[in-house]
Amino acid sequence: MRVLKLLPMAAFCLLCLFQTTQRSLARQSAGDVERAIDARERAFEACFAKRDAACIVNGFYVSDANMPIASPSGGHPPVRGRAALIKMFEQSFHDVRSIRLERLQVIRSCDLADELGRSHVTLQSGQTVTGRFSVLWLHERDGWRVKLDFFADDGWSD
């Protein structure tokens, strides 16, 4: 009987927690969101430079509970889940020396943000390739993380 009396209080607490989270997201300005995403992208570049695929995936993508997905270039099928993403990045180290991400636009609504950008890739051969990416960001408890990552290395200039 005691548990039944506590259920309304538990429901109220969960509602308050949800509303607090929504208010904190609403307080984030467009600049706040862009700065948070920029920090994640600089960390991505640093992890790539260290050749640390686990660092990339664990620091950049959503948790497996939210199923991170990447759609790589070259007609490859989508890659789902952190373990598969780690393998994908480990394989990319054979061909890619470095990568720099350039944000062109971010549009945010509540706990989602959509980013359009360019990637500047240096291959192991020294050749540079300009690519494009579109990323769907999801705000999780620990900040903005990538839910869906589409990228192509087919060149892109204005």
In the chain the domains, ranked by start, together with CATH numbers, are: 29-152 (3.10.450.50)
Q: Side chain identity at 39, as an amino acid letter?
A: A
52 Cα distance to chain centroid: 16
pLDDT of amino acid 25: 55
Tell if the pTM clears 0.85, that is, is over it: no
Residue 73 confidence (pLDDT): 82
**2, exposed or middle or buried, with CB in 10 Å at 0-12, 13-18, 19+?**
exposed
Q: Per residue of the chain (158 residues), what is the pLDDT tens digit? A: 444 444 444 444 443 444 444 445 556 788 899 999 999 999 999 999 999 999 999 999 999 999 999 998 888 899 999 999 999 999 999 999 999 999 999 999 989 999 999 999 999 999 999 999 999 999 999 999 999 999 988 766 66
- Which tokens hold the place of 115? 């980013």
